[in-house]
Structure formats: structure tokens, C-alpha cells
Chains A and B, each alone.
Chain A
């Protein structure tokens, strides 16, 4: 069954360190999303890609966060330096072009200590 792959599943890092998350969307899905979900809240969109281009990164804290999807397939989200408030679940989702029917990966649970 096709699914969105994410790694790592869990990450513990010290504040001020760098951390990176990886996502491989469902094959053929040109649209890729990164969301952040704080406990008790709904997912918040950080960045949206269409192929290798950023469509929306208006909610991405660009002083410390970066995202890339160089070949239009898999994607990396980086945080440098990590802060305590970055502790959250980072979710990757993908959809077909022209559809917002998005499917999520299992997520990466980040804890910053």
C-alpha cells in the first residue's frame, strides 16, 4: 500500500542544536506539505511544495527553519538552532496535483531539551 514515509519517528535534541527531518511522499504525488502539530492543537501548515517549487511558506519561521525539495520528490525540513518551543509533532503529507486530499506520514515527534 502506498504511503508517505518519514524519518526519524522520534528525535530528542538539545536546544541550539540542528535537527533535520526527511519525507518521501506517495509516488506520483507532486504536492508535498510540512505541518507542525503542537499537543492539543490542529496541524499548522509550515510549507507547501508543488514539485520542487515552494508554493507557500508564509508560516515558516525562516530565521531558523528551512525546507527543500531539490528534485521534486523527497523533502527535508531543517531547524537550526532548535528552541524549546519547537517541541512538537512534525507531519509530512502529500497529494496529487490539483487535489487537497492529503495523506499523512507517521510523523516525527521532536523533543527539545
Chain B
């Protein structure tokens, strides 16, 4: 079974400061990793994904994440945040066994609040 732990439920950050949202996972098999963002009253939007290859993954809106197999982590980072980044961020994992149709297992989310 897989699981995802998002260590911080809330992260307040000043505008234009850097941010890191932490995600750790557990799985007995190789995994695919994702970060999704959820704006108020909206569905989830994919920020970035790691399937294989380079451990540094770049996504939309200036976000990036680094896959660390030894630490089973996939932390999300942005060098300079904007007010519009205020949202809920979810880390998710799939096991790659369904040929692209795998279910996603989500963490409990991190609420990122940008302070003007």
C-alpha cells in the first residue's frame, strides 16, 4: 500500500519570498509522483509530475520539485511567491501498475497563504 505525508498543514509566506512544501511518501514499489493545486471552490490542477529521468522536475507557474528516492521525498519549491499562489497544494502518488490508469493516493494537503 502507498501513503503520502504532507508535513505542514499550513504555510504562511511573505510575498516574493521562497517557499518549500514538504511531501514524503511510502511505497513498496516504484512510484510516480504528482503535485496538484486547488484554488478555492475549484477542482485540482496538475502542477508537475515525476515519472522517471531527471529528479528535478519543473512545472507550471514557476514551481519545481525534486524527487529524492533515498529520503522518499518529493518537496515542492518556488523561489518567489505571488499573491495568486494562495491555494491548497496536494502531493499524490501512483504505483504505475495500471498502464496510465492508476489511482492516485493523495496527502492531506498544505494550505499556502501568501502575506502581502
Q: Answer yes or no: are A and B bound together in one complex.
A: no
- Report A's interface with B, CB cutoff 8 A: none
